[in-house]
Chains A and B, each alone.
Chain A
Amino acid sequence: MSAVLTVEGLSKSFGSLKVTRDVTLELHTGECHALIGPNGAGKTTLINLITGILPAESGRITLNGRDLSDLPMHQRAAAGLGRTFQITSIFPDFSALENVALAAQSSDGGGMGIWRIAASDSGLNAKAADALDMIGLGARKDARGADMSHGEHRLLELAMAVVTNPDALLLDEPMAGLGRAESEELVDTLRSLKAQVPLLMVEHDMEAVFSMADRISVLESGQIIAAGTPEQVRSDPQARAAYLGEEAV
């Protein structure tokens, strides 16, 4: 399997606090790579460093061999790095379809058209509707963002990320706040999604992580202390001490 996304020696401090220490990891074609660790371990920081919201102090990030380390956030996204946010981050005044269409146009023609009415662009609308169907939100495409439930927002986020055909997709706690049934549905959706785009996922729901991740990296105090298949991580003493405790055995 080839590495799509590689992170080498990534470091970051906030003042004297080292939040990311020399993190190295790879995301391969067709896999779901989960990033777990206790609260404050620096998981979201790591995602923010990779996507470029935060500047890294040292280290290298490459996507399909292209070095992204010096690019600003929007250029990394344009280069094929998709993400979803831990805190719901959608456009509340847009309909679900327009939320996704806005994402779609970023990789399909861009945003510089100034004359044609964007909402009547049938190509964009079809793409957006397909993405919503795939994620299971097809029936809600005309609902206003602000009127949708939390679970629907999580799905909408995912549709917005998927519609741009990213080369790698970073998911920051996709299950956060979802009910049990919703979580199970999302796990199924993600399982079929990873065949199209490799997923790097931060997630607290251990059941979901161990049922769908191909590989797991355990982060503690900004450092990867264990990595491997779910079985390897489950039996790793350091990982258990750091995070899994007794309950996950």
Chain B
Amino acid sequence: MSELPVPDLAPVNRGPLDRSLMIGLIVLGLLAIMPLLSPILGGDYMLSLVIKAMIFAIAAISLDLVLGYGGMVSFGHAVFLGIGAYVTGIALQEGVYGAFPILALVLLISGAFALITGAISLRTTGVYFIMITLAFAQMVYFSLTSLSYYGGDDGLTLWDTPEVFGMYLFQTGSGLFYSTLVLLALIWFFVWRLAMSRFGRVLRAAKQNPTRVGSLGYNVFVYRLIAYVISGMLAGVAGFLLACQAEFISPSTTSWQISGHLIIMVVLGGLATRNGPLLGALFVVLIEEILSQITHDWRLIFGPLLVLIVLFSKGGLAGLLKNKRATG
């Protein structure tokens, strides 16, 4: 885990981070005007693609808290997307339509799942942590495929979306777009503040040298567990949005391919950087779409592209942006 690229976090509150704040705000600002541009760029299809990218950005940002700042390679993070989606779908199916009660349930259940599985997984490190988080995700995956009352293997189509005081804010279209964007902006800002706080400082230190952090009087296990639970809850929110957007829930959301995808987004964007997971998720979702329109064998292009970015940019896409600005 220690050979993952490490960002320069030394001068925390001065220039470079103000720049990262600006870049993040520009990206969010560009996203905000997408619905206005969508008639030129491909209409509702484009809009729904951008919503999907933003939802994955939320999941990637939440993963970065444990993977980037905490140095814990969770290879089962899609499980929280799945839990968020299934809690939402099942609640709607059972007649709970309020977005706030549903979101509260999503936070509660994904948080509880993270607490229990985290308490077990975090007793291990390194490869064992990777395998055990994967194992938990696979357990949930197979449980969901046998959940025949809610569609089992085939998934479940949702006929309603959650409402807020009678408004269907999470229905496909600009309502869902701006709800997602607001949640993305809040989570983007919150995770960065968390990572730069006293709590985050301990978490980042434990990535570098856990024994030393313990000898300073911190209980590393507790810090990692809290980060894991927060991360799981935030990824659960992404799952909620995913269910709203797809109007469909399926066990495949929790598959290890999706977990792997999330890791690619974070690493490609830049581990433990303010904008890395945001840029990474937008880039991966959009480039996949564009490439798959050009050729059926788009993975032949996508694979080498990933390798090139990881090889030649220190700190991923976020690092690329930073370097360019710094020298130019």
A interface vs B, CB < 8 Å? Answer: 51, 53, 73-75, 77-78, 83, 85, 89-95, 98, 101-103, 105-107, 109-121, 142, 144, 160, 164
Contact = CB atoms under 8 A, between A and B. Distances in A.
B295 interface: no
Given A114-B193, A117-B13, A120-B13, A93 B198 contact: no
A148 B204 CA distance: 19
A118 B201 contact: yes
Contacts of A85: 212, 215
Interface string B257-296: 0000000000000000000000000000000000000000
B318 to A, nearest CB: 16
Most A CB contacts (10 A, CB to CB) among B198, B204, B208 go to B198
Interface of B: 6-13, 193-194, 196-202, 204-205, 208-209, 211-220, 223
Contacts of B12: 98, 117-120
Nearest to A160: B216
Contact of A118 (B11, B196, B216, B220): B196
A160 B205 CA distance: 13
Of B199, B201, B208, most A-chain CB atoms within 10 Å: B201
Given A51-B215, A53-B215, A114-B193, A105 B13 contact: no
A111 B202 contact: yes
Nearest to B223: A111
B13 A111 contact: no
B217 A113 contact: no
Contact of B215 (A74, A105, A115): A74
- Most B CB within 10 A of own CB, among A85, A109, A117: A117
Contacts of B209: 89-91
Contacts of A53: 211, 215
Contacts of B196: 117-119
Nearest to B213: A102
Contacts of B218: 74, 106, 111
A73 B215 contact: yes
Contacts of A77: 214-217
Nearest to B220: A74
A228 B217 CA distance: 32
A117 B216 contact: no
A85 B216 CA distance: 12
A227 B108 CA distance: 60
A175 B112 CA distance: 49
A75 B218 CA distance: 8
A106 B216 contact: yes
Contacts of A51: 215
Contacts of A95: 10-11
A96 to B, nearest CB: 9
B122 to A, nearest CB: 15
Given A94-B9, A142-B10, A110 B198 contact: yes
Contact of B201 (A90, A105, A115): A105
A98 B257 CA distance: 38
A160 B197 CA distance: 19
B10 A98 contact: yes
7 contacts: A83-B215, A94-B9, A102-B216, A111-B218, A116-B197, A118-B196, A120-B13
Given A89-B209, A142-B11, A109 B215 contact: no
A109 B217 contact: no
A140 to B, nearest CB: 12
Nearest to B6: A93
B217 A107 contact: yes
A109 to B, nearest CB: 7
A73 B217 CA distance: 7
A93 B220 CA distance: 18
Given A111-B223, A142-B11, A89 B212 contact: yes
A74 B197 CA distance: 20
Contacts of B223: 111
A75 B214 CA distance: 9
Contacts of B202: 102, 105, 111
B71 to A, nearest CB: 11
Contacts of B10: 93-95, 98, 142, 144
Contacts of B197: 113-118
Given A74-B219, A117-B13, A90 B198 contact: no
A53 B194 CA distance: 29
B321 to A, nearest CB: 20
A144 B12 CA distance: 12
A113 B194 CA distance: 8
Given A93-B208, A115-B197, A78 B11 contact: no
B212 to A, nearest CB: 5
Contact of A117 (B193, B211, B217, B220): B193
A94 B211 CA distance: 16
Contacts of B193: 114-115, 117
A107 B217 CA distance: 8
Contacts of A164: 216-217
Contacts of B213: 102
A212 to B, nearest CB: 24
Contacts of B9: 93-94, 98
